[in-house]
Amino acid sequence: MPNYVLLLSYVGTRFHGWQIQPNLRTVQGVLKQSLEKIFGENIKITGCCRTDAGVHAKEYVANFYTIKSLDTERLLKAVNSLLPEDIGVKRIWIQEGFNARYSVKGKVYIYRILNSHSRDAFLEPFVWRLPHKLNFSDMERASELFLGKKDFSAFTKRDDEDKNTIIELEEISLSKAEDLIEIRLRARSFLRYMVRRIVGSLVQLGMGKINMESIEAYLSRKRHCPYTAKAKGLTLEKVLL
């Protein structure tokens, strides 16, 4: 049985996340329907991670096994002809033993904030637009608190707190071009809501509503972070293979 690996992208605006959910439009569900039309068999797709409703992916990796075998170029053309415009498959290859959940070496997320009263229609679906002026320097300094191996249980969903919440955040960097702020984070894995709550806490700090000690309290598990940045600003930028 060939093991197909897909590199795809999607705009998350009209999806209820990656994972199949009853009666909801999800990326995994739409992709599964298209592949089953092509192969005429039940397809079980494994994704590299779950993304929340409204979150985008510039790169996402998935894999599936089939009984039938198709040339990868023919399959690429066939699946893209069936998929809606908000999902695109960039590349397909066969790699035995590859598991999208366990074989990837890391992920890079970028969160984008448009710190302006102005609205750019081309950016709007992919940014959290905040008119309140943010102190970029304070946010940049505070971001260093998250680097390294930490317990991020205060930054995940409470239902997930019994899971392994020790994550090594290998990179967090902030950049600013005019009114557009980008926050880049890299790690082998992330907890649910982790990136959005890190960003949420940095935004609150940038607005002067919390201080460095508040973030330190979250990281020491003295308090749970109550701030979650909007999903639309988050993009899974790259999957490290």
Task: Report the pLDDT value the prediction gives residue 162, as an integer from 0 to 100.
Answer: 56
Fold assignment, 3-94: Alpha-Beta Plaits (3.30.70)
The string of pLDDT tens digits covering residues 137-167 is 999 999 999 999 999 999 998 665 557 899 9
Task: Spell out the domain ranges in the chain.
Answer: 3-94, 106-240
Using CA atoms, how far apart are residues 103 and 123, in angstroms rounded to an integer?
33
pLDDT in tens, 206-217: 999 999 999 999
52 is catalytic: yes
What confidence tens digit (pLDDT) does each residue in 43-68 have?
999 999 999 999 999 999 999 999 99
Position 163 scores a pLDDT of 77
pLDDT at 102 over 70: yes
Q: What is the mean pLDDT of the chain?
A: 96
At 144, list the tokens.
Answer: 């260093």
Phi first, then psi: give them for residue 180, nearest 5 degrees. -95, 120
Q: What six digits make up the tokens of 110?
A: 């970028």
Number of residues that make up the chain:
241
Question: Which amino acid type is present at position 100?
Answer: A
pTM of the model: 0.95
Any alpha helices (H) in 26-165, and if so which ranges?
Answer: 27-39, 72-82, 136-143
Catalytic residue among 52, 151, 159, 179: 52
Question: How confident is the model over 113-120, as a mean pLDDT?
Answer: 96
DSSP 20-63: --TTS--HHHHHHHHHHHHHSS----EES----TT-EEEEEEEE
Residue with structure tokens 């298209």?
34
pLDDT in tens, 65-82: 999 999 999 999 999 999
What integer pLDDT is reported at residue 221 of this predicted model? Answer: 87
Domain 3-94 identical in fold to domain 106-240: yes
Contact by Cβ (8 Å): 151, 168: no
Per-residue confidence (pLDDT) for residue 112, from 0 to 100 = 98
The closest alpha carbon to 93, from 32, 33, 3, 30, belongs to 3
CATH architecture of 106-240: 2-Layer Sandwich (3.30)
- % of residues, the chain, pLDDT over 70: 98
Residue 67 to residue 63: CA distance in whole angstroms: 14
